[in-house]
Every structure is written in C-alpha cells, then in structure tokens.
Chain A
Amino acid sequence: MPVADFEPVIGLEVHAQLLTRSKIFCGCSTQFGAPPNTQVCPVCLGLPGALPALNRAAVEMAIKAGKAFGCTIARRSIWARKNYFYPDLPKGYQISQYEVPICSGGAVPVPGLGKIGLERIHLEEDAGKNIHTERGSEVDLNRSGVPLIEIVGKPELRSAEQASEYLKAIRLALIYLGINDGNLEEGSFRCDANVSVRPKGATKLGTRVELKNINSFRFVRQAIDYEIARQVELIESGGKVTQETRLFDNEKSVTRPMRSKEEANDYRYFPEPDLPPLVVSQELLDTVQVPKLPQAIADELITAGVPQADARTIVSDPRLVDTHRRIGGDPKRAALFVVGELARAVNENEADLGALKFDPALVRDVWKLQDGGSISSTAAKEVLGELIRTGEAPQRIVERKGLAQVSDEGALEAVVDAVIARNPGEVEKYKGGKTNLLGFFVGQAMKELKGKGNPGVLNTLFRKKLG
C-alpha cells in the first residue's frame, strides 16, 4: 500500500507554563533568564521537610483555559505524585494530577479544521534544567516548580499540517487568555506528539510512537511527516511499529529511538498526601472571566466586512486586535490601517506593537481631515505614517508639513481659469467629446497648486466651466 492508503492518527500533548508571578508551590519568582539557582527555596529545591503550598493564581489560570475550551471543571480534583529519578527533578517525583484532573473534555477551535477534542487539562509543576558543559553536567532549578498546564488533545488530527494548525490555535488562545507567553524557543510552550498510522478505513488504532523535542512549528511538521513516512515504510516492508518514545533530531530532521516500552518508567502515580484535594468553589468558578478567543474575534471582524485574510492577520496578534479596537470607527477602514500602514511601520522597525507611540483613536482624526477635504488621500497616508512614528496630533502634522488642501472654490477658480486659458487646443478637443481630458486639466491645476488642490472641487469646477 502506498502512503496515500494509510491514515495517520495524531494527538498532541502541550505543556504550557502559566504566567504567574510566583511558582506553583512556593513564593519563588518565575522570571526567565535569571542566573542559575537564584530563584529557589527549600520547597522547590526539594529539601528534606519542605512542603508544597498551592498558588491560587495557577488554579485560576487553569480554570480560565478550561472555560475557554469548554471543558468540564472538576469541583474537586486530586494531586498525584509522578515518581521517577532525574537530576532536574529535586524531589524524585513531580506533583501533577492523574486520575482526577481539574479540566476534562472540551475542544479547541482550529481555523479550517473545526473543533479538535480535548481529553483533559491538568495542573503540574515544571522540573529544573540539566545543563551539560565542559565541566560536566549541572542542574539549574530556577524552573523547578514553575506552574504548567498539560493540555492533552484527542487523537483527531490526520496530518502534520493539521497538527501544526492545532498547535498554533492553542498557542494563540493561551496568549489571548493571558496565561502563557507562547514562547517555543524559551520552552515556555512545549509539545509532544503521539503518532500512529493505520490503513484507510480501519477503525482500530495503530501502535503509537511518542515524539519528543519538537520545539518549533516547523519541527512539528517535519517530525510528524518523517514519523508517518517511517511507520508506513516499516509496515510496507513487512515490519511492525513498536511502542516507543522517539526524539526528534532537528539538524537531520529525523526521529531516533529514545526508550522502548520496556524501558519506559513506571511512574507509580499515587495521590499526593501533602496536598488536600483541589476544591474549586462556585464563587471561584464565577469570578474567572474568559476573554474572547481569536476565532470569535475573527468571525466578528468578517461579519463587519473585514476581508477574511485581514481578519486572520489581525487576530494573529492580540496587540493588533487591541489597536484595531482602540481606533474605533469603521472596522473595515481601521483594519485596512492595521494591516496596511501599521504593519508596514512594524516591518520597517518604525513602530513597536508592545509600545506604540501614538493613540490609535487619533487615526480617526486623520480620516476626518481626509473626508472633510482638508487633506488629500495621498497626504492622509503621509499623516498616518508620521502619526505612527511620532504620535503628534494629525492637525499639527498637517500644519507642520504643509499638507493642507485648498478646497475654497474662489481660490481654485482663478487657477482653473488660468489652466483653461493656457490650453485652448485641449479645451477644443474636450468640447469635441474627448471628456477624458478632464484628468489632464485637473492635473495641470494640481501642478500649479503643488498638489494641494482638492481634486473633487477641481473636477466640479472644470466640468462646469468646460460645460
């Protein structure tokens, strides 16, 4: 059977660090990038006798994610210990949730794919980091105890492309919720993939392989595509896929065996005796507010007449959505500005979305000047560019740069008359029926007026005079 006759089945497990100020079970800072082992205490170092004390903010963020994806929030969930030995795991176990997670069910809306089901979302603590240097291996425990949610998706994805889109949708949603920074390089947003293949039409799942170390969207696609091809080839040649964990090598774009099912850890999960069950009160459930997710905002923009592609671009960054909202007025026109002038300014490093120099509401002032005929559409573009760069009031930019447009009929009439007088031949032709010469006359007048004449008024005047 060729590849086309196989159906890949993919499910992703996403680990997302929560944006709490302190760690999940102690008061240490979660700031990234501090010198090694400077954000630690007896609790996150796993010193003898230290006990965990739960950070409420982490619970609220997990509930936020659960509500956003339509999960069932457990009113009483259970902490569990996942036991294994590793130098970056100071207690010899990770406090996680196992049999009763805080969120179960739910789904993630993915553009073009509909909804992809979720198995569960649970809370847990991050481990530290092993650093291998020439001196030997060292452990940095600054990350130990940083709160994580693990979002376990159902195996409903059918291609590497779909997996990548799903991952992007989750990442964007978490950024919108303000609970994760979506930073794949720093590892605050990580993903493992479970991949299997089966003959098309089969209902039974094939043997799955878990892929680790896929820390970019490109690697997700490469790793899954490689793995699908590897498994199909294996089956084609009469072999069998074995259940194992494989590591993605991003330099060679291949996956390699990491450990087999036999070598897999027996995590010996059991309820964490140091923490009472996690009880979520109705009050807490009610106080956690969920902002609109990107998909919903995009739908609203499209309904308001914003082209689909522009709507996608805007929701790809919550800061663009925010700017769009703050401009106000006509959503289509505001969208045009955001994906046009603003996007260009950002690309040319003239603007920083994180620290805009201008009040977006001033964009409407530019429109007013343009619509009222005070400035031409060309001048309006220039004013917008200057507004983005300086934040100066549009009226003042117009004055400073002399961009005001002459709309006064009396002032324009003299110029119109002069142009007519200077071009008798063209006047003749126009009157003979070549009415498209109107542009020529307006152009001549504009030249005289150094571009500041109101083209609409000039049009009307020429038409009237050439009758």
Chain B
Amino acid sequence: MEGVETTCGSRILEGYVPPYDATVVRKLKQAGAVIVGKLNMDEFAMGSSTENSAFGPTMNPWDLSRTPGGSSGGSAAAVAARLVAGAFGTDTGGSIRQPAALVGCVGMKPTYGRVSRFGVIAFASSLDQVGPFAQDVRGVAYLLGAVAGHDNDDQTSSPRPVPDYAAGLDRGVRGLRIGVPREYFGEGLAPEVERAVRAGVEKLRSLGCEIRDISLPNSPHAIATYYIVATAEASSNLARYDGVRYGHRAKATQLLEMYEKTRAEGFGAEVKRRIMLGTYALSSGYYDAYYLRAQKVRALIRRDFDQAFATVDAVLSPTSPTTAFKLGEKLDDPLAMYLNDVYTVPANLAGLPGISVPCGFDSRKLPIGLQLIGRPFDEETLLRIARAAEPSDCPLPPVLEGR
C-alpha cells in the first residue's frame, strides 16, 4: 500500500515504504473499502503460526496461549476478534485456510490467476494467491468479488470474467457431488477434528449432496514437493533484499561483506532455512533430482484432481490436522510445523481454489475448520457449498466475552 511502511514481518524491510499500491489495494480503495491497517504475519509468509514475525507472535482470540496459525495469522485473528469486517492474506501452502480454521472464521484461497499478484510481495510465485477472510461465507464472496479479475500488470492473472459471487450463494447444494479423499483422513489427524469434519460431511449429505469416497493418491507427496518448489522460488524471490536499494543495510566496507551481513541480520531463522533449501534444490547437479522431479510430482498431483473432478464437483477434507497449538510448541521442530499444511498444500500445487469454513469445536472449545477444494475458476460452486456447510451462528471468542 502506497505510503505505508511494509515489512512482510521482516527486519530486512525495516523502513521500506512502497511508492505504489498493489492492484488488490487499488481495487479495494475503488470499491470504497475503508483500509484500517496492516496485520501481522510470519516473515515473508513462511510459517504456520505467525511466530516467525520480527514483530513477535500473534495470539489466538480463542486462547491467548495458542497461535492463530499462519502465516496470515494476524488477518485471521483480527477477523475472529471482530476488529475488522474482513481482511486479506496470501496463501502459498495454506496461509489463509489454516489460520481461518484455527480461529474459526472463513478464509479462501482463490484459483491461481484469479486475483492479481501485482504489488504482493512474493514468496513462491507459482503458488502465491491473495484471498479474503471474513466472519462468514457471504463476506468472503463480497471481498473476493471486489479484488478478482484480470490485471495487465500480472501476466499470470486470468482474463476470465468475474461472476457475482454473492448472487448464487443460497441456491442450495442439492445434487452436487462431494468427494471425500481417503488420503486426507489418515495418520496425524486429531480424532476430534476428524469427527467434526465428518459431521460436516453428513450435514451436506442431509442437504442433498451426493457424497463419494475418492482417492488422490499423490497428495501424500505434496509436502515434500512443496518444500522443493516453494523454497526454490523463494530463494530467487528473496534475492532482491540485498541492502543495496531499500530496507535494512548492514555496516560494511566491502560489497560481499555488506551482502552477507545485511542478509544475516535481516532475515529470521526460518527464512534463512528456506533460502538455503531452495538454493540447494536449484544448484547445478541437483536441479534434476530435486526441482525437476518436484515439478513432475506436482503435475501428478494436479492430474489426480483433474481425474477426481470428472466425477465430483468439489473435494472435502479437514483444513488442518489439529486445532490451535500452543505458542512455542512447534518452534523447534520445523517438520512438525510443516505438517500443519498437509491438507492445504495440494490445492496450491494444483492451482485450485480452496476455502476453509468453521465446522465446530474440540473439547477445549477451539475452532475446527473443514476445507473444500473446487475446480479451477469455479469459486462460485465452492462458495455455494461452503455457504451450506457453515454454521448458522458465529460464536464470539472468549477474549470478547463480558466486554
């Protein structure tokens, strides 16, 4: 956003004030939105708990000792805590859907190319997509309609016309076929989460949906694939933060020393880890074994979905394997953190639209979300199903009770 310091939660962008509006911001302003402020996130959107922020962690309004998920945890928490009517985030591997699930609001990642990425600070360009958070599906439909559409400044944005997403929300779901992939209900899924998601399935069945057991056999490879593709692109996207033109610059007398110190001081541990992973994956001699191979698996994951959509209209799964976890709980275990996105990452790799809607609470009164994944550019059907699946009321988080 023009004139407002923008750091992506990173020290390396300290003091950086963009001289231009992102297309999404321009469209929101044109639509009359009142932009209140910017929200916390994991540094460069790398993380699943909003703890990797130079500003410190964001807390979950349902339990202040827990994380709101991430990376767009600030956006999710602000919506859940009723601070704003809606918010935006980016979703590269689940960064909108997972925090939406963990704070009990609705969050949507549109089809890759549906919303312009111009002005959106890149993490992994082939996966990143901007999407809205709101208290309910209708709010998400309005917000998506305001920002979707082709943009000459983003050549990966789609020229397809943008439908009125809110118009068909209440048309019902009778006759729609919902696929439930067995690979998304396996090891690591908390029983309470599974129970709530299956209850959501039954709700849709009772509303006239046809429920089908399906298989997405390559989805279990999604996390491994994602951490090659996303880190490779990130290693290149983050090369511009070198201290030469803007943001943090370390004191040094030589160029190489300036580069090294600036990046050592400016980036946090998780960002450094991913830059190193990605640099390695693209290195001469390793490119074929890692990057190229990951692209092949990515194509297989996409093909699984193509085949599934021949027989179903949407795919339903848990959004996240667990409810909100404690602050600090997974900080020392990156792999455990990465597994938060096990159900959300496939939609990014396949470029498909995905949405998380609340589907109940666990025994600790922590929100649970279910995920719906749709055909490319069929956000309309997805929103319609989500509307049918969402609860009729949105309870207030305890942090707001008694105030």
**Cα–Cα, bound, A91→B284 (Å):** 21
**Cα–Cα, bound, A87→B244 (Å):** 6
Interface positions of A from 45 to 59, Cβ below 8 Å from B? 45-54
Q: Which residues of A contact B291 (CB under 8 A)?
A: 270
Contact with A along B175-219 (1 / 0, CB 8 A): 000000000000000000000000000000000000000000000
Contacting pair A49 B240 (CB below 8 A) = no
Contact with A along B12-29 (1 / 0, CB 8 A): 010010111010000000
Among B8, B153, B154, B236, point to the contact of A48 (Cβ < 8 A). Answer: B8
Q: Give the number of chain B interface residues (Cβ < 8 Å).
A: 41
Binds B, one of A218-226, A273-281, A356-364: A273-281
Among B233, B239, B287, point to the contact of A91 (Cβ < 8 A). Answer: B239
**Cα–Cα, bound, A451→B40 (Å):** 97
Interface positions of B from 227 to 254, Cβ below 8 Å from A? 232-233, 235-236, 238-240, 242, 244-246
**Cα–Cα, bound, A45→B16 (Å):** 14
Contacting pair B232 A270 (CB below 8 A) = yes
Among A51, A81, A266, point to the contact of B153 (Cβ < 8 A). Answer: A51
Using CB atoms, name the residue of chain B closest to A25: B155
**Cα–Cα, bound, A253→B281 (Å):** 42
Contacting pair A42 B19 (CB below 8 A) = yes
Contacting pair A52 B240 (CB below 8 A) = no
**A270/B282 contact (C-beta < 8 A), A48-B8, A48-B13 known:** yes
Most B-side CB within 10 Å, residue of A45, A273, A275: A273
**Cα–Cα, bound, A83→B287 (Å):** 14
- CB of B121 within 8 A of chain A? yes
**Cα–Cα, bound, A85→B256 (Å):** 9
Contacting pair B236 A270 (CB below 8 A) = yes
**Cα–Cα, bound, A90→B120 (Å):** 17
| Shortest distance from the beta carbon of B284 to any chain A beta carbon, whole Å | 5
- CB of A139 within 8 A of chain B? yes
Overall SS of chain B's interface: loop
- CB of B30 within 8 A of chain A? no
Contact with A along B115-146 (1 / 0, CB 8 A): 00111111011100000000000000000000
| Shortest distance from the beta carbon of A92 to any chain B beta carbon, whole Å | 2
- CB of A93 within 8 A of chain B? yes
Q: Give the number of chain A interface residues (Cβ < 8 Å).
A: 29
| Shortest distance from the beta carbon of A123 to any chain B beta carbon, whole Å | 15
Q: Which residues of B contact A45 (CB under 8 A)?
A: 245
| Shortest distance from the beta carbon of B123 to any chain A beta carbon, whole Å | 11
Contacting pair B8 A93 (CB below 8 A) = no
Q: Which residues of B contact A252 (CB under 8 A)?
A: none
Using CB atoms, name the residue of chain A closest to B258: A87
**Cα–Cα, bound, A225→B238 (Å):** 43
- CB of A396 within 8 A of chain B? no
Q: Which residues of B contact A137 (CB under 8 A)?
A: 255
Q: Which residues of B contact A85 (CB under 8 A)?
A: 239, 242, 259
| Shortest distance from the beta carbon of A151 to any chain B beta carbon, whole Å | 24
**A274/B242 contact (C-beta < 8 A), A48-B13, A83-B236, A93-B236 known:** no
| Shortest distance from the beta carbon of B351 to any chain A beta carbon, whole Å | 11
- CB of A450 within 8 A of chain B? no
Most B-side CB within 10 Å, residue of A51, A92, A276: A51
Q: Which residues of A contact B19 (CB under 8 A)?
A: 42, 47
- CB of B392 within 8 A of chain A? no
| Shortest distance from the beta carbon of A58 to any chain B beta carbon, whole Å | 14
**Cα–Cα, bound, A270→B124 (Å):** 13
Contacting pair B236 A49 (CB below 8 A) = no
Q: Which residues of A contact B118 (CB under 8 A)?
A: 49-51
Contacting pair A92 B121 (CB below 8 A) = no
Among A52, A93, A266, point to the contact of B283 (Cβ < 8 A). Answer: A266
- CB of A268 within 8 A of chain B? yes
**A276/B155 contact (C-beta < 8 A), A48-B6, A49-B122 known:** yes
**Cα–Cα, bound, A367→B120 (Å):** 69
**Cα–Cα, bound, A93→B282 (Å):** 13
**A268/B283 contact (C-beta < 8 A), A47-B19, A90-B240 known:** yes
Q: Which residues of A contact B239 (CB under 8 A)?
A: 83, 85, 91-93
Contacting pair B152 A274 (CB below 8 A) = no
Contact with B along A20-52 (1 / 0, CB 8 A): 000000000000000000000010011111111
**Cα–Cα, bound, A85→B118 (Å):** 23
**Cα–Cα, bound, A95→B244 (Å):** 19
Among A46, A50, A81, point to the contact of B245 (Cβ < 8 A). Answer: A46
Contacting pair A274 B236 (CB below 8 A) = no
Contacting pair B240 A46 (CB below 8 A) = yes
Contacting pair A51 B154 (CB below 8 A) = yes
Contacting pair B6 A274 (CB below 8 A) = no
| Shortest distance from the beta carbon of A47 to any chain B beta carbon, whole Å | 7
Q: Which residues of B contact A48 (CB under 8 A)?
A: 6, 8, 13, 16, 18, 121-122, 240
Using CB atoms, name the residue of chain A closest to B154: A51
| Shortest distance from the beta carbon of B111 to any chain A beta carbon, whole Å | 15
Contacting pair B18 A47 (CB below 8 A) = yes
- CB of B279 within 8 A of chain A? yes
Contacting pair B120 A49 (CB below 8 A) = yes
Q: Which residues of A contact B279 (CB under 8 A)?
A: 268
Contact with B along A253-297 (1 / 0, CB 8 A): 000000000000010111001111000000000000000000000
**A49/B245 contact (C-beta < 8 A), A87-B255, A268-B279 known:** no
B positions within 8 Å CB-CB of A: 6, 8, 13, 16, 18-20, 22, 117-122, 124-126, 152-156, 232-233, 235-236, 238-240, 242, 244-246, 255, 259, 279, 282-284, 287, 291
Give the 9 A-B residue pairs with the shortest CB-CB distance, closest first: A92-B239, A273-B125, A268-B282, A273-B126, A49-B119, A48-B121, A266-B284, A92-B240, A46-B240
Residue pairs across A and B with Cβ atoms less than 8 A apart, 11 shown, are: A42-B19, A42-B20, A47-B18, A48-B6, A49-B121, A50-B119, A85-B242, A87-B242, A137-B255, A139-B245, A273-B233
Besides the known contacts A139-B245, A268-B283, A274-B122, 11 further A-B residue pairs in the complex with CB atoms under 8 A apart: A42-B20, A48-B16, A48-B18, A52-B155, A83-B239, A90-B244, A92-B236, A273-B124, A273-B156, A274-B125, A274-B155
